[in-house]
Amino acid sequence: MSEPSEADRGITLKLGRALALVDIRLLDHLVVTRDGHVSLAERGWI
């Protein structure tokens, strides 16, 4: 299974905060690789 990097988690946090400024909620961030995919929402990181 793929693992999100610290950069993936960081950009998700920054994107979520930026979207919140204009009242948009980030629902998920998917990390897709050749080996699979990971949903940050499923991991409780959003």
pLDDT tens for 1-46 read: 678 899 999 999 999 999 999 999 999 999 998 889 999 999 999 9
| Number of domains present in the structure of the chain | 1
Contacts (Cβ under 8 Å, ≥6 apart) of 19: 25, 26
| 45 assigned to some structural domain | no
Which structural domain range is residue 33 located in?
6-39
The structure's pTM equals 0.77
| 24 assigned to some structural domain | yes
The enclosing H or E element of 13 equals helix 6-20
Q: What's the pLDDT score for residue 1?
A: 65
Q: What is the CA angle 46-24-2, rounded to 5? A: 30
| 22 assigned to some structural domain | yes
Q: Alpha carbon 26 to chain centroid distance?
A: 8
Can you tell me which residue has the tokens 């909620």?
25
| 44 assigned to some structural domain | no
